[in-house]
Structure 1
C-alpha cells in the first residue's frame, strides 16, 4: 500500500534554541520513500546527519518567536507484517556485529531484571520467533494499552508494576523481556495507518531467523501499514525532536496517515 504520512509541530520559543529532529523516514527493506517534503518557518539553516543507528536527523537553531516544522512523505509499505513461527533463535556467536548492542540493558529496558518472568512466559515454546510471539501475547493480555496515559517515558520495571501504559511503554517491556532471553530487540517509532487516536506510534522489533520482525502488543492481527522513522535501544534514542535550552512551548503537534493508492 502507498501511504502519505505527515507531522506538523509548532512552538513558541522564548530564546533562540537548538533542536535535533528525527522526522524523515528512510527507504529500506520494508518501505520505499517516493516523495519527501520538509518545511520550516521561519526559514533557518538546517543540516542533516545520520546517527549510529542509521536514523536521519536534522539539526537547526530555532529563532525566538513562533516556529513550525511540517514534514510529508509518500511511502510504499506492506499491508501485512511478516510472520514466521519457524524463524529460529540466532546464537550470539552468529549475530552480526551491529546487532550485538540490542542484547544489552538500556535506560528504559532493564533486561537484566526480567529473566525469570521471560522464562515463565515462554515455557515450552520453541526458541526464536515463537518466544517473541508469546511475549507479545502476554503483553496484550496483561498490560493495558491506554493512549495518552503517560506523558513521559517510563521503564520496563515501572510498566510491569503499573500494568498499563502507552505504546512506547509496552514496547519497553517487550524489548526487556526479549533481551533477557538473549534475543536482540529494538524500539521503533513512526506512523501506523488507521491508528486511533492518531499520533506518532511506537512498537518493537526482534531479531530472529537472521532478520528483524515487527511486534506490536497494542494492535491485533497481522495488519501492516507501519512506516518506520527511527530505531534505537529505547525511547531515549528515538525522540522525534530534542530541544535544548529554555522550554519551548508546544502550540501544535498533529499527525496524519492516509492511504493514497494500493
Structure 2
C-alpha cells in the first residue's frame, strides 16, 4: 500500500511517516521499477506502536531502542511512568502557582517578575513541607473569604442608599474596586471583578453585611482535591486547638497546675462545634 493508505490505516500523518523513516524507526519495502514505498500490515502495526508510545511521550531514541530489541518494552514503560509522575508533580505546582497569580490579577507592569522567577527556579521550595502547607492554607483561606465574607458597617443600614455607602466604604478601606450593578436592600455588585450578592443581618446593637459570591464554584484554589479537604479539616480544628492551648496555658500560669483542663476542653469543644456549623452553612 502507498503512504496515503498507510497514513489512513495507522492514524499517522504522511510527513510523520517520512520523519520516522528518516529516524530509522521504519524501513518499508520499495516497489521494483519505480522505487515507490510499499507498506505492509507489519509496517502499519509498527506505525501504530510508535504512535501509542509517542502518546505516552516516550522519546524517539527510546522507541528506536525498543524496536531494535536493545531495550525491553516493560522496562521502558516503567521508566516512563516514573518520568510522567515527576512531570505531573511539576505541572501540579505550576498549576497552583498560576491559580495564585490569577487570583492576584496582576498587570504586566505591577507583576514582580523577579520574585516569581525566584520561586519557580528554587528547587528547594517544593520540598519545603511546612512552608508548602502554610502557603496552601493561606490560599484556601483567601478563596474561602472570596466566596463569602461579612463586615460590620458604621451605623445601621435602613435604606438602599445606606447599604451602597457601606459597601463603598468597605471597598475603599480595603483598596478594592467596587462596581454596583443593582442597588437595594439585596444589592448586587462586583469587587475586583468578582460578582457578589449581599444582604443585611440585623443585630441587637450593630447590623452585619454578609456578601456571597454569585458563582462560588468558579473561585477555586487550584489545589488537589485531597489536599483541599485536608486543609478544610485543619481550618476547622486549628482555632479549637489554639483555644485549648491558650486557656490551659493561662490556667497553668494562674494556678500552677492543670485545674483549668476541663474549661479549656469545654471552650475548645464550643469553638470546634461553631466552626463545624459554620462550615456546613
TM over 0.5: no
- The structure with the largest strand share of the pair is 1
Range into which the TM-score falls when normalised by the shorter chain: under 0.3
TM-score w.r.t. length of structure 1: 0.22
- The structure with the largest helix share of the pair is 2
TM-score w.r.t. length of structure 2: 0.21
Say which one has the larger Rg. Answer: 2
